[in-house]
């Protein structure tokens, strides 16, 4: 199986590469498509050392070059950077011309309606709409919110290094259930889904656990022996639109206030429940993740995130 | 079952009212929602005489009035006029507030992608997107193109009265199959679908026959003994955008050139094949319809269409 990947050095993309390399997919060949500007970056060189072929192409450049690279690919996965979501249109056109058998556009987030709630979701939908227009077979993968972006810091400061973007506020009343996944499982789920004929032309929803924010705080307090301050952000809707972090807070409004990120809503919106497709798959539980964090064993995979957020706030 | 209907005096709406009144749905109550300006129109008075309750409400007026009318409705069907499609947003909000169990937004046309091909489709999708946002249970019903709008005139002029909008051109090479339905069956299919729990939160595709334009011309020539002139409109894409009838020709481009209006594409786009849900349902075949037309027995249900088209061309 030949898998082409856009964004292979990003947060989600690198997790998917790891999972693919560890998977039992037979005769797997991974091609990371990178921009000319990134060709010599250490992350790209590291991918090559791990056996990933690297193809340097400009998604907005001549289509023939992109078609050449995609020729013979069974799957094209996009975990493209937010700022380049629009490039998925020429990417999809090239994939269609190359006969790619499955396009996985950049979703990998929470369950939410296509329009009117999440700015990012709305942007991501454009690639799906285009795939449907040109009849390019697709699979949408949504994974809920990540464990790693769901926990507050403790008063003692002992888990600060594991919380690059701490969540010390509670959206809504804190009792709304929300589907969460350990970011490492995003890769493992994706490796299953892209090799599965049942998921062609479907939206698939996977998750590791379904918990409310109050449950998260309770669990953390109990396991740590500390008492985390809970700031109820009932006005999150209004504040979101005054805030430069609007696209980030929209997710918390959607999850915590609207309650969009649930299995029930996923089914209403037409998703397939991916956890039922793979009953043998044992996702990391939220409790197991919390234990790792408290034991100082979690890997802080969001080193760059803090910097990006700081940049966005400026 | 209480069914509220918008557009009950229009081409599709009146066909649906007929089919509902003839259906075996138990304890059926139909409420036609009409604009204040239409209250005393003969078509509305005729509906009342047939046992349809009429509620006069402005869709863009105070929500409470609309919620009152929709209270207790099991199904809300919209066959709203093209010019008022935007009013489906406040309509859906009111339906949600009233606890309506199923919203059937105005689709009732061909299979096509949500965006980028048909202007009308794109406008219609807004109501569906909104229903998904507010979690209003819905059913989309698409019926292909109508038999009654698919046939050319004969050189003798003998079927002119049955062809208010004759199709004497062929879109593309004429060999692309397209799903068609007799307009009378649109009502009968709808009566089945809205009473069926399997169709909740689904897009349903129904059709009476699947034929190409060349097959239609061949059939008509053979059955009539005449020879109809075939004008191959290969440049239909370009002409459509220079033409005031753009939204009409877009359908022919989608059906004839792109080949969107097929069962295969419906399945790709996630529709349920409604003909498989009702194996006992015997739709009128295209051949039976043609025979009616040639025997002078067809009902010219598009009396007003010719006038509307003439108006649009001016």
Residue B314 scores a pLDDT above 50: no
Residue A314 scores a pLDDT above 80: no
Of the residues B116, B122, B139, the best mutation for testing chain A's interface (the one with the most A CB atoms within 10 Å of its CB) is: B116
Q: What one-character-per-residue DSSP string does A21-88 give?
A: HHS--TT-EEEEEE-GGGTT-HHHHHHHHTT-EEEE--TTS-HHHHHHHHTT-SEEEE---GGGGGGH
Give the dihedral sign, CA B10/B16/B21/B25.
negative
CA-based nearest residue to B204, from B279, B133, B130, B263: B263
With CA atoms as reference, the chain B residue closest to A136 would be: B268
Q: B59 vs chain A: nearest CA distance in angstroms?
A: 21
Q: B68 vs chain A: nearest CA distance in angstroms?
A: 25
- Which bin fits A201, alpha (ψ -120 to 50), beta or left (φ > 0)? left
Neighbours of A220 (CB within 10 A): 20
- Minimum-distance CB partner of B269 among A114, A116, A132: A132
Would the CB atoms of A115 and B129 count as touching at under 8 Å? Answer: yes
With CA atoms as reference, the chain B residue closest to A269 would be: B132
Measure the CA–CA gap between B62 and B65, rounded to whole angstroms.
6
Tokens of A173: 């009343």
Would the CB atoms of B201 and A268 count as touching at under 8 Å? Answer: yes
Contacts of B265 in chain A (CB under 8 A): 135
Q: A116 vs chain B: nearest CA distance in angstroms?
A: 7
Contacts of B262 in chain A (CB under 8 A): none
Annotated active-site residue A124? The verdict is yes
Contacts of B130 in chain A (CB under 8 A): 115-116
Degrees, nearest 5: CA angle A95-A37-A41 = 105
Identify the weakest region by mean pLDDT among A157-166, A215-224, A237-246, B63-72: A237-246
SS3 of residue B285 by DSSP: coil
CA-based nearest residue to A305, from A293, A313, A297: A313
Residue A305 scores a pLDDT above 90: no
pLDDT digits (tens, 9 = 90+) for A37-89: 888 889 999 999 999 999 999 999 999 999 999 999 999 999 999 999 999 99
pTM for the structure as a whole: 0.92
Spatial CB neighbours of B247, under 8 Å, sequence gap ≥ 6: B118, B119, B120
Would the CB atoms of A265 and B129 count as touching at under 8 Å? Answer: no
pLDDT at A243: 60
Cβ pairs A/B, distance under 8 A: 41
For residue A308, what pLDDT band results from cuts at 50, 70 and 90? very low
For residue A76, how far is the Cα from the chain centroid? 16
For residue A237, what pLDDT band results from cuts at 50, 70 and 90? low
- Minimum-distance CB partner of A117 among B113, B117, B133: B133
Identify the weakest region by mean pLDDT among A100-104, A216-220, B169-173: B169-173
Tokens of A253: 């409004």
pLDDT at B179: 98
pLDDT at B235: 54
Contacts of A133 in chain B (CB under 8 A): 113, 115-117
CA distance between the termini of chain B: 44
Residue B244 scores a pLDDT above 70: no
pLDDT digits (tens, 9 = 90+) for B271-283: 999 999 999 999 9
Q: A250 vs chain B: nearest CA distance in angstroms?
A: 14
For A255-275, what is the mean pLDDT?
97
Would the CB atoms of A115 and B135 count as touching at under 8 Å? Answer: no
Check if the beta carbon of residue A215 is closer than 8 Å to that of residue A175. no
The conformation of residue B283, written as its DSSP 8-state character, comes to P
Alpha-helical segments (H) within chain A? 11-22, 42-49, 63-70, 88-98, 119-133, 183-193, 213-224, 236-242, 246-252, 263-268, 274-277, 286-294, 303-313
Would the CB atoms of B132 and A269 count as touching at under 8 Å? Answer: yes
- Which carries the bigger pLDDT value, residue A145 or residue A249? A145
- Which carries the bigger pLDDT value, residue B240 or residue A218? A218
With CA atoms as reference, the chain A residue closest to B132 would be: A113
- Minimum-distance CB partner of A116 among B129, B137, B265: B129
Which residues of B have a CB under 8 Å from any CB of A? 113-117, 129-130, 132-133, 135, 137, 201, 265, 268-270
Instruction: Please list the residues that pair with A138 across neighbouring strands.
Output: A103
Give the CA count within 13 Å in the CB-facing half-sphere of A197: 0
Contacts of B116 in chain A (CB under 8 A): 129-130, 133
pLDDT at B298: 80
Would the CB atoms of A135 and B265 count as touching at under 8 Å? Answer: yes
Task: Identify the helix (H) or strand (E) that includes residue B66.
Answer: helix B63-70
For residue A301, what pLDDT band results from cuts at 50, 70 and 90? low
pLDDT at A74: 98
SS3 of residue B8 by DSSP: coil
For residue B234, what pLDDT band results from cuts at 50, 70 and 90? low
Residue A33 scores a pLDDT above 70: yes
With CA atoms as reference, the chain B residue closest to A264 would be: B135
Residue A215 scores a pLDDT above 70: yes
- Minimum-distance CB partner of A115 among B133, B201, B265: B133
Q: What is the ipTM for the molecules in this complex?
A: 0.90
pLDDT digits (tens, 9 = 90+) for B11-36: 899 999 999 999 999 999 999 999 99
For residue A312, what pLDDT band results from cuts at 50, 70 and 90? very low
pLDDT at A231: 86
pLDDT digits (tens, 9 = 90+) for B33-48: 999 988 888 999 999 9
Q: Which of A124, A133, A276, A297 is catalytic?
A: A124
Q: B169 vs chain A: nearest CA distance in angstroms?
A: 25
pLDDT at A248: 82
- Minimum-distance CB partner of B268 among A201, A265, A268: A201
Check if the beta carbon of residue B101 is closer than 8 Å to that of residue B70. no
With CA atoms as reference, the chain A residue closest to B267 would be: A201
Degrees, nearest 5: CA angle A134-B126-B248 = 65
pLDDT digits (tens, 9 = 90+) for B121-164: 999 999 999 999 999 999 999 999 999 999 999 999 999 988 88
The position carrying tokens 């919390």 is A290
Q: B118 vs chain A: nearest CA distance in angstroms?
A: 11
Which residues of A have a CB under 8 Å from any CB of B? 113-117, 129-130, 132-133, 135, 137, 201, 265, 268-270
Task: Identify the helix (H) or strand (E) that includes residue A5.
Answer: strand A2-6
Measure the CA–CA gap between A157 and A245, rounded to whole angstroms.
24
With CA atoms as reference, the chain A residue closest to B127 would be: A115
Residue B256 scores a pLDDT above 70: yes
Task: Identify the helix (H) or strand (E) that includes residue A211.
Answer: strand A209-211
Contacts of A114 in chain B (CB under 8 A): 129, 132
Contacts of A129 in chain B (CB under 8 A): 113-116
Identify the weakest region by mean pLDDT among A295-299, B127-131, B293-297: A295-299
pLDDT digits (tens, 9 = 90+) for A173-194: 999 999 999 999 999 999 999 9
What whole-number percentage of chain B has pLDDT above 90?
79
Contacts of B117 in chain A (CB under 8 A): 133
Q: B50 vs chain A: nearest CA distance in angstroms?
A: 37
Q: Which of B49, B124, B132, B297 is catalytic?
A: B124
With CA atoms as reference, the chain B residue closest to A201 would be: B268
Measure the CA–CA gap between B38 and B137, rounded to whole angstroms.
29
Tokens of A67: 């078609």
């Amino acid at each position: 199986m030949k898998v082409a990947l856009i964004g292979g050095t990003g947060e989600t993309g690198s997790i998917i590469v790891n999972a693919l390399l560890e998977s039992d997919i037979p005769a797997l060949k991974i091609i990371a498509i990178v921009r000319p500007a990134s060709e010599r970056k250490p992350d790209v060189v590291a991918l090559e050392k791990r056996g990933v072929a690297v193809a340097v192409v400009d998604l907005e450049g001549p289509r023939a070059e992109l078609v050449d690279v995609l020729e013979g690919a069974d799957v094209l996965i996009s975990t493209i950077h937010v700022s380049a979501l629009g490039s998925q249109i020429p990417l999809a056109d090239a994939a269609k011309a190359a006969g790619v058998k499955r396009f996985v556009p950049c979703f990998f987030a929470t369950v939410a309606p296509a329009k009117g709630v999440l700015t990012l979701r709305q942007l991501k939908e454009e690639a799906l709409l285009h795939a449907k227009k040109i009849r390019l077979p697709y699979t949408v993968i949504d994974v809920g919110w990540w464990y790693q972006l769901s926990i507050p810091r403790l008063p003692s400061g002992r888990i600060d290094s594991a919380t690059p973007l701490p969540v010390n506020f509670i959206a809504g009343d804190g009792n709304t259930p929300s589907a969460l996944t350990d970011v490492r499982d995003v890769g493992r789920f994706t490796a299953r889904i892209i090799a599965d004929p049942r998921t062609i032309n479907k939206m698939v929803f996977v998750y590791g656990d379904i918990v409310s924010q109050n449950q998260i705080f309770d669990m953390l307090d109990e396991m740590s022996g500390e008492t985390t301050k809970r700031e109820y952000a009932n006005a999150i809707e209004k504040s979101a639109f005054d805030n430069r972090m609007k696209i980030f807070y929209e997710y918390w409004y959607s999850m915590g206030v609207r309650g969009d990120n649930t299995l029930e809503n996923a089914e209403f919106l037409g998703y397939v429940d991916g956890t039922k497709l793979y009953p043998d798959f044992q996702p990391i539980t939220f409790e197991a993740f919390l234990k790792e964090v408290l034991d100082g064993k979690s890997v802080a995979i969001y080193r760059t995130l803090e910097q990006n957020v700081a940049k966005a706030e400026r």
